[in-house]
Amino acid sequence: MIVGRALLPMERSPAYWLGKWGRYAIEESRRNGLDGAREGLLDAWRDVFVVANQRLVEAVGNPGRPIYEPDWDVLLVLDACRTDLLHEVADEYEFLGEIGTFRSRASMSEDWLARNFTPEYADEMARTAYVTGNPFARALDDDSFALLDEVWEYAWDEQYHTIPARPLTDRAIDTWRRREDNGVEQMVVHYMQPHAPFVPDPNLGSFGTPDDFGEGSFGSLWSEAGYTIPAEEVWAAYRDNLRYVLDDIEVLLENMDAERVAITADHGNAFGEFGLWGHDSDVLLPSVRLVPWAETTGRDTGEYEPSVEPREADTAAVEDRLRALGYR
């Protein structure tokens, strides 16, 4: 699997690509015999397929709808949630009614942010609170939003190597209850689940810190899924991770007055379609681009008081992270 944006063929010589594929095939053959040899061939195919998708997007433009096009008061974003995955658990949650689809503007979070929070929607953003657990938000301008709460900066869980759902829920409840104080008319809450790592099964795949987010070293799950880790095991953990975040969304909806709440995803995940796993940049597969869209409402019972307070991030630590990632 390619992690992140693949290099276009014109930027590398044929000898580079042949050498890369050959070394990987030999290495995997030694490790896993015939299965490894097959994986080596698939790796070459994945590179070609992903690069072809990226070149198509460059040539004809990027499809997808902006998130500000539909009407909503609160938008709940489930990171990397497939539409069929949400359908599998829909009967377990009363707030999930009809589930439609929405064509995302991106197949990875970094692009999703860049393509939705644009100057075209400056007025809408100025009235929006963005409460997020996604570290790619580090590239956003705080001044563009009514409120930008990067919860990942102070609520990252070192045990699970991700940000749990509850800090996002707490901050969203508090932000919405105080919305008039901050000039907030809309709110986007960006949960990190069901994106791996999977909170109910944290040992499945290997992950790191926010510093590693988006880097090639951040996670080996999708390079092993369907290969050394059975696809059924990954799907079950992926589904349980979705249940985990939906349980928290239930708490949010019971403690937030909002007539128009939409539940969607920034992108989905390839799960073996055309040999791909995960979500590379500018992949056009329906499993990655056609994300769920469900509408519901929220009613504040006042029964829950959030306990997570926003904390001032360690500026030096954040700057070091951004510098290491090339953002400074």
Which tens digit of pLDDT belongs to each residue from 107-146?
A: 999 999 999 999 999 999 999 999 999 999 999 999 999 9
Please give the model's pTM, rounded to 2 decimal places: 0.86
Q: What is the pLDDT of residue 239?
A: 98
Mean pLDDT of the residues in the chain: 86
List the structure tokens of 8. Answer: 């276009």
Whether 5 has a pLDDT exceeding 60, the answer reads no
Between 144 and 40, where is the model more confident?
A: 144
Residue 79, classified by CB atoms within 10 Å of its CB into exposed (0-12), middle (13-18) or buried (19+), is: buried
- Looking at residue 34, its pLDDT comes to 74
Q: Are 58 and 171 spatial neighbours (Cβ–Cβ below 8 Å)? A: no
Place of tokens 């644009």: 118
Are the beta carbons of 223 and 234 closer than 8 angstroms?
no
Q: What sign results for the dihedral spanned by CA atoms 216, 217, 220, 221?
A: negative
Nearest to 213 by CA among 7, 4, 16: 4
Domain boundaries, the chain: 9-60, 74-324
Residue 143's pLDDT is 95
CB count within 10 Å of CB 1 equals: 23
Q: Give the model confidence (pLDDT) of 182-228 as tens digits.
A: 999 999 999 999 999 899 998 786 555 555 555 544 457 888 888 88
pLDDT tens digit sequence for 240-282: 999 999 999 999 999 999 999 999 999 999 999 999 999 999 9
In this structure, the strands spanning 277-278 and 99-103 are: unpaired
Question: Which two tokens mark 205?
Answer: 């795949």
| 74-324 CATH pick, 3.40.720, 3.30.310, 1.10.20, 3.40.50 | 3.40.720
